[in-house]
A and B are shown apart, each in its own frame.
Chain A
Amino acid sequence: MSAKLAGPNIQLNELGKLKHFLTLEGLKNHHLTEILDTAESFINPTTKEIKKVPILRGKSIMNLFFEPSTRTRTTFEIAEKRLSADVESLDIQTSATKKGESLLDTLWNLQAMQADMFVIRHSESGAAHFFSQHVAPHVHVLNAGDGQHAHPTQAMLDMFTIRKHKGDIYDLTVAIVGDVLHSRVVRSQIQALSILEAREIRVIGPKTLMPESPEAMGVHVYHDMEEGLKDVDVVIMVRLQNERMTSALIPSEKEFFNLYGLTEERLALAKPDAIVMHPGPINRGVEIDSVVADGPQSVILEQVTYGIAVRMAVMAIIMSNAAQLAQHKLEQEQQASLDLVDTEETTEDTL
């Protein structure tokens, strides 16, 4: 299914607003800023509490996880409940697809159970695109990670965390360290940082874990960790994706830590107020030292909390856009029938 991906704009409706959320590719600064601003409105500025609001009452959201997940799945569920939606989570690895039902049949059956939105994670790149092209017009699809392609809500919660600590993304230097080749998170992060016009995006890692021409993504590539971390505002560590490696791309995890592990000494090369991020799950002693992961510059657990608000924002915006589009169409129809009456009247006048 990854052979033919539809253009990214299938995620926008007739008014240019988000209908699905599949990838950040092709989106504009205003789409991303709207998500970040809306997420802000869900968080109490003094207590940092995220309150439940009734806006998606009566809407049904189904989480379809074809691949294991802890953080993403749980924060999606919490976000849906805080929006007052009805939530069903299906662990597809252990259900009907095992009995030979095709993906589309599964999807159509779930749609028949009156879902308004699907949140999908799948090991195949393009899975969410595929679903979005086969759902009914009133049903929305959110990508919660597809293969090595994209993980847009993760990238948005990372942008939100950066903005919370550093203000505007514009004017920041961000370094992403680790397995760039296999990471859908990194791909989405690079897109988000480019759309929000970060001053410089660096990727740091061994050649074997870099895509063929990373420069094409508008990033600066460093194979030397010390050099790459110099004077950065944000350090994003990503995990070695062992499950996606089909051959030995690194000599050993210990060797990897020696060359690219984030230690206190290395972090000292970044700006003194630099923040350390990681999308999780973290492998202590492989890509990050525990002292750094639990240290004062680490915002790793904040990322998780902000994930709730950002996912609430994406879902609220998509349902809001659907409501506005329906209203827009209704007004157009009313205008058209008014025009019709006008024409009729004019005809009578001239007679």
Chain B
Amino acid sequence: MTELDIDVPKLISKISEQIKQKPMFNHSPKMIGIRSGGEWVAQRLHQQLELTDELGVIDISFYRDDFSKIGLNPTVKPSQIPWDVDDQHIILVDDVLFTGRTTRAALNEIFDYGRPASVTLVTLLDRKGCRELPFQADIVGESLECSQTIKLTGPEPLKVTILEKSEESA
């Protein structure tokens, strides 16, 4: 097993620059982070982009599609979107895009609040090749193989370590 630390500040800057290139950035977009890893990443992006509207946070636990298998998440907290979703350009932030199921849940939850003008999906890391639903991010910090697992700790310091099974040590 080898471990590789990711340079998070560098990726945050890179993502911020890409967000600024998007046309929706000129239409005062609002940001939502998916608890808990996505919230941590969103806090940094929100700060760097100097967005004026408060950061929204959603907890998708009640929207998961596996309630009948795993039941309630005991650490679930209320979602908080402090502004009207209707007709807003929304930047949805997650830490890792993997199967796509979290994105599905997050979109469903957002649409229960209203009808946004657009949603731009941003992810710090994209584990490609293991998608179970047809979702792709608009902006990706770094792409990985789906065999690479990720350890994320935060919020301060926000640290991402990639755990990779190396064949030699097996």
Residue ranges of A at the interface with B (Cβ–Cβ < 8 Å): 34, 37-38, 40-46, 51-55, 316-317, 319-324, 327
Which one of B67-75, B129-137, B148-156 contacts A?
Answer: B67-75
| Bound CA–CA A43/B78 (angstroms) | 6
Given the known A-B contacts A52-B112, A54-B108, are A327 and B70 also in contact in the complex, defined by CB atoms under 8 Å? Answer: yes
Which residues of B pack against A, CB within 8 Å?
59, 61-63, 67-72, 74, 76-80, 82, 108, 112
Asked whether, in the complex, the Cβ of A44 is within 8 Å of the Cβ of B78, the reply is yes
Task: List 10 additional A-B contacts (Cβ < 8 Å) besides A45-B80, A51-B79.
Answer: A38-B72, A42-B78, A43-B78, A54-B62, A55-B67, A319-B67, A320-B67, A323-B71, A324-B70, A327-B70
Q: How far is the CB of A234 from chain B (nearest CB, A)?
A: 25
Please indicate the chain A residues that have their CB under 8 angstroms from the CB of B76 in the complex.
38, 41
Count of chain A to chain B residue pairs whose CB atoms are closer than 8 Å in the complex:
49
**B62: chain A residues within 8 A (beta carbon):** 53-55
Rounded to whole angstroms, the CA-CA distance of A46 and B82 in the bound complex is 8
Cβ–Cβ contact B78 & A40, under 8 A: yes
Chain B residue nearest to A56 in the complex (CB):
B67
Residue with the greatest number of chain B CB neighbours at <10 A, chosen from A37, A41, A45 = A41
Pairs A–B under 8 Å by Cβ, sample size 18: A34-B74, A38-B76, A40-B78, A42-B78, A44-B78, A44-B79, A44-B80, A46-B82, A53-B63, A54-B63, A55-B67, A317-B72, A319-B71, A320-B67, A322-B71, A323-B69, A323-B71, A324-B70
**Given A41-B77, A41-B78, A44-B78, A316–B63 Cβ distance below 8 Å?**
no
A57 to chain B: closest residue by CB: B67
The residue on A at minimum CB distance from B72 is A320
Task: List the B residue with the shortest CB-CB distance to A325.
Answer: B71
Residues of B within 8 A of A45 (CB): 78, 80
A208, B67: Cα distance in complex, Å: 50
Which of A34, A321, A327 has a CB less than 8 Å from the CB of B69?
A: A327
Q: Which chain B residues border A42 with CB–CB below 8 Å?
A: 78
CB distance from B63 to the nearest CB of A (A): 6
- Are the C-beta atoms of A321 and B71 separated by less than 8 Å? yes
Closest to A52 in B: B112
Q: Nearest chain-A residue to B108 (Cβ)?
A: A54
B80 contacts which chain A residues (CB < 8 A)? 44-46
Min Cβ gap B83→A in Å is 11
How distant is B133 from chain A, measured CB to nearest CB, in Å?
17
Q: Say how far B39's CB is from chain A's closest CB, in angstroms.
A: 15
Q: Provide the residues of chain B in CB contact with A43, threshold 8 Å.
A: 78
Query: Which residues of A lie under 8 Å from residue B70 when comparing CB positions?
Result: 323-324, 327
Closest to B64 in A: A55
With the chains together, A320 CA to B62 CA distance in Å? 11
**For residue A316, which residue of chain B has the nearest CB?**
B72
Q: Which residue of B lies closest to A38 (CB)?
A: B72
